[in-house]
Amino acid sequence: MENCDQWLACDDIEERIVVTHTNLGNGLGKSFSRASLDGKPVAFIRTREDKLTSEKIVNRVRLGFENLKMLQPHPRITQLLGYCLAGNTTVMITELGQYGDLRQFLLSAEYKEFTLLQRFDTALQVVEALEYVHESPGGSRINCDMNTVGQALAQFIVLSDYRVVLNDVDDLPSGDSLTNKKSQCVVGRSNINATADHSFEAPERRWPWPGKLPKQIDAAELRRVLKGKVEDYTGNIELKKGSQK
């Protein structure tokens, strides 16, 4: 978007947004539709109606909105144009990824026509987005939805002018490899097959105890290494008997 205006509020969205193509895609907790804002194509994103009774999903979508708002404005982050929070529903209006996500774009006819310099610039934009997230206004953040190359590419969208922006920031807890602060999503990866290749994951996400589950680690050790409350990392996992202090 070329103009910098105030974010649209609930009334503005109701009056000025016209949804043209509904439910073009669903994520874990969000639905995506194409819409028009004063004649310009935009994305209309909202909490999935079939997930409104799930507190976990509702909170995840709301947190994603807060993350996107926190990261504004930046040329490598999807521009937030407006939002409306009503009960369990979060509605966001953002700029539209005309060419879909980056994973799709790399397989497109348009990308095949790119010069080597253009391809290098595409990769550089991804690096710039990740660098900004690691040094964001909210501190160093780690994207927990980048477990594989394909999944990482799907977090970005390509705009009409071929700019690449980070679009999915729902799962973005703090983490810092320089201070050895592990991201809270590290425990979720501990149950993955030990033979799987985790080399793509950020250092802040790698499980420090190969071959062991959270319940097999002493609570004090969890606190020391993960630098946080044990329950933040173990959830409902029962700790080893006698380890709670």
DSSP string, the chain: -----PPB-HHHHHHHEEEEEEEEEE-SSEEEEEEEETTEEEEEEEE-GGGTT-HHHHHHHHHHHHHHHHT-S-TTBPPEEEEEEETTEEEEEEE--TT-BHHHHTTSHHHHT--HHHHHHHHHHHHHHHHHHHTBTTBSB--TT-SSHHHHHTTEEE-TTS-EEE---SS--B-BTTTTB--GGGGGGTTS-TTS--TTS-GGGS-SSTT--GGGS-HHHHHHHH-S-HHHHHTTPPPPTT---
pLDDT of the residue at 193: 45
Taking Cα atoms as reference points, which of 134, 157, 156, 135 lies closest to residue 145?
A: 156
pLDDT of the residue at 27: 82
**Per-residue H/E/C for 154-173:** CCEEECCCCCEEECCCCCCC
Phi, psi dihedrals of residue 189, rounded to the nearest 5°: -90, -5
Low-confidence stretches of the chain (pLDDT beneath 50): 187-195, 228-245
pLDDT digit string, tens, across residues 70-96:
999 999 999 999 999 999 999 999 999
Q: Which pTM was predicted?
A: 0.78
pLDDT of the residue at 149: 85
pLDDT of the residue at 147: 74
How buried is residue 11: exposed, middle or buried, by Cβ count under 10 Å (0-12/13-18/19+)? exposed
pLDDT of the residue at 229: 40
pLDDT of the residue at 192: 46
Instruction: Say if CB 46 and CB 92 are below 8 A apart.
Output: yes
pLDDT of the residue at 181: 56
pLDDT of the residue at 166: 96
pLDDT of the residue at 212: 73
pLDDT digit string, tens, across residues 133-165:
988 998 888 887 787 888 889 999 999 999 999
Q: Which two tokens stand for residue 125?
A: 């934009």
Domains and CATH numbers, the chain: 10-95 (3.30.200.20), 184-234 (no CATH)
What is the C-alpha to C-alpha distance for residues 156 and 146, in angstroms, rounded to an integer? 11
pLDDT of the residue at 2: 55
What is the C-alpha to C-alpha distance for residues 65 and 83, in angstroms, rounded to an integer? 9
pLDDT of the residue at 220: 77
